[in-house]
Structure 1
Amino acid sequence: MDIQEYKGVYVFIQQVDNQVAGVSHELLGKAKELAAKLETEVTAILLGYGVSGLCKDLASYGADRIVMVDNKDLELYSTRPYAYAMCKVIEKYKPAIVLYGATAIGRDLAPRVAARIRTGLTADCTKLDIADDETKNLRMTRPAFGGNIMATIVCPDYRPQMATVRPGVMQKIKPIADAEAVVEKFDIEIPESEKDVQILDVVKKESHKMDIQDAKILVSGGRGMGCPENFKMLEECAKVLGGAVSSSRAAVDAGWVEKDIQVGQTGKTVRPNLYIACGISGAIQHLAGMEESDVIIAINKDESAPIFEVADYGIVGDATKIIPLFTEEVKKALAERKK
């Protein structure tokens, strides 16, 4: 393999029902930064059917070029057709770097592509950078050993260098008005051997809850809340503040709340304007998912809890007694504002 033939930073664009996933926008922004260091361009890989209408959106978030594979067989995500299409794109265009979101789709697709084209893959990265030496290798950093250390991994001998990145870790760039990208339509015929799975029906889970990654205010509960019933006071507080409830892994493992509201290394990464940590000790795995919040308020009975080290404001006390009082004070303040 002549690695000098491989150039450019490519991003797999995850789209479902012609809606681009937020993590793809985030990765385009990061790709723009990496591409600037490599003096190259950012290319979005757009797979699907009837997806040409998404090109302008991708250009506004940083794509210089879009390789579009518009094929009926790619209308719904299925592992083997998507893996085949990705490999064909990589074989033709020879990218130096390919980034994927560490979503259910990205985690399914990326390792299969890596195996087929015989290259490496670093999963769940929290940091990406370009080496300062002459190699210009991609430095991919991820938590290891339960989050106790951060490992930086390089792939010096094979291309492309591939990584998955968790949603919420990278920041989107501000959309560029009137941005345009060169669109290259790449026609691929998916062989029958890659279509051995037939999707009969798609069952969508309807949820009226706000995604915690979209919330500007999060009221988060941990083991210190004592029992699942006490999460109701967090829901009341979040409702008054116009935010959402999230949790630590301990509350999820105890069966008190659903996993889709878990914050942390094995949950979601969030960046709200306000994060209120209630009865959360602040293990490094949890901090990895919320320490970029603008303002952090911590409530914990243990004055030596690690959460206080990252908090902007700390209250030493029982969250189950403090949160109801806090909620009432917020209600009074809002009522006064309306007068």
Structure 2
Amino acid sequence: MSILVIAEHDNHELNPATLKTLAAAQAIGGDIDVLVAGENCQAVADAVAKVAGVSKVRLADNAAYGHFLAENLGELVAELGKDYGHILAPATTTGKNFMPRVAALLDVAQISDILSVESADTFKRPIYAGNAIATVQSEDAIKVITVRATAFDAVAAEGGSASIETVDTVFSNDKAEFVGEELAQSERPDLTAASVVISGGRGMQNGENFHLLEKVADKLGAAVGASRAAVDAGFVPNDMQVGQTGKIVAPELYIAVGISGAIQHLAGMKDSKVIVAINKDEEAPIFQVADYGLVADLFDVLPELEQAL
């Protein structure tokens, strides 16, 4: 049984979520090929070839895949995926964008956001915003799967010696084109990769008050996140959102400030190793999942915390 894993990258470096997706692939068992599709991404293919457990790297280096448009990437993966029993990709923004197209083109069901591998055809995944875990068994000839990276430990990035095969197949959909992108630049770590995350909610009152979180984050080397309520209120941009419809995080330490703890938010952070909640409402649901809770006014606590650090 062979498995195709779709590498996530920025054409220069491999996203760590790929190493965790490879862990899920190894749990399924079988030969593992990795598709690196992008533009001028030879360096990524070379890095993947060194990853432990990879049998072969398939490199599709073409301008059509440079911006990872789902219309182009989905067709490529579906075409190559016909020869595999499983197709896996990280359940990131990119993976969630093109993998449903792959499943539709192959006329199979997608198994989304898996948390564990029970067997080659059986997997566990969250439902109802993570309040229940479903065990899903698929009889499809090809299993199309997205992997919740926070649920798996990364495989070793060294120790492998896979061959690299060039893929010449090019799909270029004339109904979609890349226009542009705006990337948020920050010296702080990425939300999904940070070992410490501090997030603010509606209790922050406005966007300017997020500088209180940023001061603490700088002392801790932490990433700064936000609840959906804070994003919807316009306090911060949506790339900072943690939750079911935002980013899924599982840091060593998660500090929730002024966040009530709605189901939507908990679904994105409750796998954190240690959760600290600061909220002046002692009845806030966030305290039910927190390891440590402080009932206090955040505008008093945050300056004191910064000073203590």
**Distance in 2, Cα, partners of 1:257 & 1:142:** 28
The alpha carbon displacement at 1:147 in A equals: 4.3
Q: Give the letter aligned to residue 145 of structure 2.
A: A
Q: Give the letter aligned to residue 179 of structure 1.
A: G
Match of residue 155 from structure 1: 138
Match of residue 253 from structure 1: 232
**Distance in 2, Cα, partners of 1:189 & 1:214:** 32
Contact map agreement 1:56 1:180 (CA 8 A) in 2: no
Match of residue 172 from structure 1: 154
The alpha carbon displacement at 1:89 in A equals: 1.0
The alpha carbon displacement at 1:318 in A equals: 1.8
The alpha carbon displacement at 1:140 in A equals: 4.3
Q: How does 1:35-50 map to 2 (within 5 A)?
A: 35=29, 40-50=30-40
Contact map agreement 2:67 2:178 (CA 8 A) in 1: no
Aligned to 2:87, the other structure's residue is in SS state: strand
**Distance in 2, Cα, partners of 1:171 & 1:284:** 25
Contact map agreement 1:29 1:62 (CA 8 A) in 2: no
Q: Which has the larger radius of gyration?
A: 1
Match of residue 51 from structure 2: 60
Uncovered stretches (5+) of structure 2, i.e. residues with no partner: none
- 2:88 is the counterpart of 1:109: no
- 2:158 is the counterpart of 1:139: no
- 2:174 is the counterpart of 1:196: yes
**Distance in 2, Cα, partners of 1:121 & 1:200:** 26
Aligned to 2:58, the other structure's residue is in SS state: strand
TM-score, normalization by structure 1: 0.79
**Distance in 2, Cα, partners of 1:256 & 1:73:** 36
TM-score, normalization by structure 2: 0.86
Q: 1:245 to 1:53 in 2, by over 3 A?
A: closer
- 2:282 is the counterpart of 1:303: yes
Q: 1:285 to 1:75 in 2, by over 3 A?
A: closer
**Distance in 1, Cα, partners of 2:26 & 2:156:** 12
Q: Give the letter aligned to residue 222 of structure 1.
A: G
Q: 1:137 to 1:310 in 2, by over 3 A?
A: same
Among the aligned pairs, what percent are the same residue? 33
Match of residue 285 from structure 1: 264
Q: Give the letter aligned to residue 26 of structure 2.
A: K
What whole-Å deviation, never above 9, does each CA across 1:111-163 have from its counterpart, x for those lacking one?
2221111111133x1413134xxxx413241323x44433333321x221112
Q: 1:276 to 1:79 in 2, by over 3 A?
A: closer
**Distance in 1, Cα, partners of 2:167 & 2:135:** 34
Q: Give the letter aligned to residue 78 of structure 2.
A: C
The alpha carbon displacement at 1:197 in A equals: 4.3
What whole-Å deviation, never above 9, does each CA across 1:90-118 have from its counterpart, x for those lacking one?
22x2x221112233332222122211111
**Distance in 2, Cα, partners of 1:283 & 1:86:** 36
Aligned to 1:16, the other structure's residue is in SS state: coil
The alpha carbon displacement at 1:169 in A equals: 4.3
What whole-Å deviation, never above 9, does each CA across 1:266-301 have from its counterpart, x for those lacking one?
211223332221122323332232233333222122
Uncovered stretches (5+) of structure 1, i.e. residues with no partner: 1-6, 331-339
Match of residue 83 from structure 1: 74
The alpha carbon displacement at 1:12 in A equals: 1.0
Match of residue 334 from structure 1: none
Q: 1:18 to 1:197 in 2, by over 3 A?
A: farther
Contact map agreement 2:2 2:31 (CA 8 A) in 1: yes
